Structure 1
Amino acid sequence: MTASHGTAPSPFKQPRAVWAVAFACVVSFMGIGLVDPILPALASSLHATPSQVSLLFTSYLVVTAVAMLVVGWVSSRIGAKLTLVVGLILIVVFAALAGTTNSIGGIVGFRAGWGLGNALFIATSLAVIVASASGGFAGAIILYETALGLGIAVGPLLGGELGSISWRGPFFGVAALMFIALVATVAFVPALPKPEHKTSLAAPLKALRHRGLLTMGIMALLYNWGFFTMLGYAPYPMELNAHQLGLVFTGWGLLVAAFSVFFAPRLQARFGTAPVLYVNLLSLGIVMAIIAIGVNTPAAVIGAVIVSGAFIGINNTLTTQAVMLVSPVERPVASSAYGFVRFIGGGLAPFAAGKLADATNLSVPFYLGGVTFILAIVVLASGHKLVAAAEKGLVEGETVRPSLQRVGATPPAGYQPVIVAVGATEDAAKIVDAAAAIARDAGRPLEVVHVRETAVVEELAIDAEDAEQAHSAVLGHLDRLAAQGIAATGQVLASVGDHAAAGRVLAQHADDVDARVIAVGRSPRGPVAQFADGSFTTAVTHAAARPVVLVEPGKAPYRLTA
């Protein structure tokens, strides 16, 4: 159990720039859920077939997919803020135009422009929040995840309310809300420095040459095929009005958000990425079969769709986790390549489902969607060894799971150090100095373990710092300690998305070197975030066969007990 005295800094005490982008993120994440409740109303009002209406998904997602290939190239040249602003302008303009048109073809075309704006926004929003946040990297990630959950949960509810007035309501609603976000972004977000490294236009496609990334991308394509078949066609057999559909998809969205943020990381830590995905994809296949069989029973479809939210939440998080585990390329490039492949699947599925439904009956697209979930298991199984190897340590020379890398001189055997774990936080030096006092009193050397974190949120992954920065941080600690006459060694602990796994790796290392004490600082992530994806400190405390103490500047060390 961790100590209860003291508090973590609140991730919600942020500058106006962060709140401006976070608000835009909420509206962006409303996305699909905002439109879903009005699909039957669109078909009825514009005298269109469900297959024609489904094209508004296809145009939006296919353009988003293609745009994912170039957003890295664009943002690395014009900067994150300008890329974000251009994306917001496109969303405002094309969402408003979609609300003014009187034809399904017009909506389909304007949704394509909306998709381009969304791609530009997705590619840069997380980076802008991280760059602008005052609460550090952890606080920025918490805020982004909060925006994600709020958008997914509230989108269908707002879409249902606005759609019950007019099918045009959700389109105008998005345009109005995004316009507010646009004004706030222009006014409050400062100019951000352009990346030192410019991304190649061909980089995402070249990244797909790596078998692991391509395998996970194809798996995601098949998963998204089934997912967007359900989103595009499930509203019709429910036989509900826009308001009622909004409530159904709000229940679905709440499960998506909860299982994505709170349960997926814990399941991954307990069972591993691939096993959880196998069970999850099989469960989604069963859900789709239930919808297909009960397509003439609205209650069965409603129940199956709501329950699917739990499995979709888990899949969205762990599929991205798997991509980042096996990918040997830079995170933004891997995200772009993965986004391109998966959005292609999501875009083509509603179009194909419409053609099948017109030629046969409404149950056939759902059966096909169920088959694609099962095929995704087969594809994942073909790359199982890659995922398993990644979870153990290395893929094509890149560290992708929690693993220690020595910095500086190698200590002698039997050195029995005091270990201190710190991250890229403002108080890292003070925590190291407090742990150094413990090491001095114990007559042991100090080992500084710098935790280099990669956060995974939905389809995005972002590093708190690059490998060079983490290495330099350790050398900075070692130089300062040497000037104080304190013997010290250093390591970098790289972690992708799983805080608890990183804690267990550190605990095992401490046992291996017979460390006298493990010292940790207070987590900047707070109790809710630690519950969601596992606590580094709790994992260390439970796994290590030696004392773990909490060190805070100006306070006596506090021993943590399991």
Structure 2
Amino acid sequence: MSVSTPQQSPFKQPKAVWAVAFACVISFMGIGLVDPILASLSSELHASPSQVELLFTSYLVVTAVAMLITGWVSSRIGAKRTLIAGLVLIVVFAALAGMSDTIGGIVGFRAGWGLGNALFIATSLSVIVSSASGGFAGAIVLYEAALGIGIALGPLLGGTLGDISWRGPFFGVAVLMAIALIATVFLVPKSEKPQRRESVLEPIKALRHRSLATTSIVGLLYNWGFFTLLGYSPFLMHASSPQMLGLVFCGWGILVAIFAVFGAPWLKARFGTAGTLYGNFVLMAIDLAIIGIWPNNPTVVVVAVIVAGAFIGVNNTLVTTAVMSIAPVERPVASATYGFVRFIGGGLAPFAAGLLVESFNAHVPFIIGAVAVLVAAVVLSTVHRALAAADRGEVAQPELDDLDRVEREDELAVGAAYGNEN
């Protein structure tokens, strides 16, 4: 008979972990912050919905591409300095977006914001995983809790400040991120530079590993449905004010947080990672299809968006855990690779939704999103055995192929020669 070991609560953490988690909350607020003001920006700056959707695209696509350099940067200046650099960029570009007078200017500054976001997000996950008490699974739960809370509070803050002015949400994030920056400077201990400098190509090379490539594609497909809902549904609700939209997405975000922290672990223990995700992807696809069938019914759209928070919360936790558990590479590399692929889907989906509505109708993008999520379930089934092994505690270990070994030996040889010269 096996004896289960009681697990430590993921909420009993050192101050440094809480400082990074707080900064994560503010960072993730930036994702949903603009939802309540999309319609206001469209009308006040005379921009089409597809132009306004570029606020998501520039932010997330730059975040995705910048994920490729996060390991290269952090392995040279250390994790803490990388966190600080990311936070500084977010503060600066959020404030500049608030001062801009054109949709093009805001889109451009959101791109700079995305660069800071990439440096921060990829590094914060690795810092939390390495510093948190309660093990890897507890660290992921804490990280996803921060994501859920940030996603819940972002639209609420955006709606409240957006009722005053569309500029308010951008300045609000700049102030809050400045507070997070101060907390990081004083509460996160100085980190040592890693012994090995990461190559800028490592996240791309990691896609040669089938398990990581497959789960990353799952993330891309799932995020296509996720950000279609997040990016375009505000235009279908016909809300009377940004604050009303903020309340809708706050309810959505609360479900994201609850199901990320409590629902996902319970469902995983009962049905396993793969079984839970199969069912969850199907339910999320049905939810998106409901919006696609009745996009002109604001009540249906509002209810479907709020309910989607439950499915997204489960997916966020379990897909991230799956990637980090079965990827046969170091976790910072796996995080960067996964972030790069999934945010490409998240960034392109809202812009594509705007173009599809303008070219066809509001039914099309949500039906496509539903199909994408169903395909994610099919793709996930190809790594079912690896997921089951991870659930049993058989965690994949970093591995090197022959080319990697030659490159690593060359790096060591160069390092030794350099040391002898000095």
Q: TM-score, normalised by structure 1?
A: 0.65
- 2:301 aligned residue: 301
- 2:283 aligned residue: 283
Report the CA distance between 1:388 and its aligned residue.
Answer: 3.5
Q: Is this contact kept in 2: 1:91–1:117, CA < 8 A? A: yes
2:84 aligned with 1:81, yes or no?
A: no
- 1:208 aligned residue: 207
Instruction: List aligned pairs for 1:363-378, cutoff 5 A.
Output: 363-378=363-378
- 2:25 aligned residue: 26
Report the CA distance between 1:267 and its aligned residue.
Answer: 0.8
Distance 1:136 1:10, change over 3 A: closer
Return the alpha-carbon distance in structure 1 between the equivalents of residues 319 and 337 of structure 2.
14
Q: Is this contact kept in 2: 1:11–1:140, CA < 8 A? A: no
Read off the aligned partner of 1:215 and give its amino acid letter: T
2:296 aligned with 1:260, yes or no?
A: no
Return the alpha-carbon distance in structure 1 between the equivalents of residues 29 and 342 of structure 2.
19
Does the residue aligned with 1:345 lie in a helix, a strand or coil? helix
Return the alpha-carbon distance in structure 2 between the equivalents of residues 28 and 201 of structure 1.
24
- 1:113 aligned residue: 112
Return the alpha-carbon distance in structure 1 between the equivalents of residues 251 and 10 of structure 2.
28
- 1:162 aligned residue: 161
String of CA shifts for 1:373-400, please: whole Å, max 9, x gaps: 111122122333443354456587779x
Does the residue aligned with 2:345 lie in a helix, a strand or coil? helix
Q: Which residues of structure 2 form unaligned runs of 5+?
A: 1-7, 400-422
2:326 aligned with 1:334, yes or no?
A: no
Read off the aligned partner of 1:230 and give its amino acid letter: L
Read off the aligned partner of 1:201 and give its amino acid letter: V
Report the CA distance between 1:301 and its aligned residue.
Answer: 0.1
- 1:175 aligned residue: 174
Read off the aligned partner of 2:382 and give its amino acid letter: S
Read off the aligned partner of 2:72 and give its amino acid letter: W
Return the alpha-carbon distance in structure 2 between the equivalents of residues 166 and 269 of structure 1.
46
Return the alpha-carbon distance in structure 1 between the equivalents of residues 135 and 259 of structure 2.
23
Return the alpha-carbon distance in structure 2 between the equivalents of residues 388 and 141 of structure 1.
18
- 2:93 aligned residue: 94
Report the CA distance between 1:326 and its aligned residue.
Answer: 2.5
Return the alpha-carbon distance in structure 2 between the equivalents of residues 381 and 140 of structure 1.
26
Distance 1:10 1:350, change over 3 A: closer
2:151 aligned with 1:152, yes or no?
A: yes
- 1:124 aligned residue: 123
2:384 aligned with 1:384, yes or no?
A: yes
Q: Is this contact kept in 2: 1:21–1:125, CA < 8 A? A: yes
Does the residue aligned with 1:300 lie in a helix, a strand or coil? helix
- 1:475 aligned residue: none
Instruction: List aligned pairs for 1:451-470, cutoff 5 A.
Output: none
Instruction: List aligned pairs for 1:427-446, cutoff 5 A.
Output: none
Report the CA distance between 1:144 and its aligned residue.
Answer: 4.7
User: What is the RMSD of the two structures over their aligned residues, measured on CA atoms?
Assistant: 2.4
Give the structure with the higher percent strand.
1
String of CA shifts for 1:441-500, please: whole Å, max 9, x gaps: xxxxxxxxxxxxxxxxxxxxxxxxxxxxxxxxxxxxxxxxxxxxxxxxxxxxxxxxxxxx
- 1:322 aligned residue: 322
How many residue pairs get matched?
390
Return the alpha-carbon distance in structure 2 between the equivalents of residues 176 and 301 of structure 1.
33
Q: Is this contact kept in 1: 2:325–2:396, CA < 8 A? A: no
Give the structure with the higher percent helix.
2
Q: Is this contact kept in 1: 2:26–2:173, CA < 8 A? A: yes
Distance 1:128 1:10, change over 3 A: closer
Return the alpha-carbon distance in structure 2 between the equivalents of residues 101 and 88 of structure 1.
20
Work out which structure has the larger RCO, using CA pairs closer than 8 Å and 6 or more positions apart in sequence. 2
Report the CA distance between 1:339 and its aligned residue.
Answer: 0.8
Q: Is this contact kept in 1: 2:248–2:306, CA < 8 A? A: yes
2:68 aligned with 1:64, yes or no?
A: no
Read off the aligned partner of 1:48 and give its amino acid letter: A
- 2:310 aligned residue: 310
String of CA shifts for 1:268-309, please: whole Å, max 9, x gaps: 121111121111111111111111111111000000000000
Distance 1:268 1:13, change over 3 A: closer
Return the alpha-carbon distance in structure 2 between the equivalents of residues 194 and 255 of structure 1.
38
2:335 aligned with 1:352, yes or no?
A: no
Q: Is this contact kept in 1: 2:145–2:260, CA < 8 A? A: no
Read off the aligned partner of 2:229 and give its amino acid letter: M
Report the CA distance between 1:143 and its aligned residue.
Answer: 5.9
Distance 1:392 1:143, change over 3 A: closer
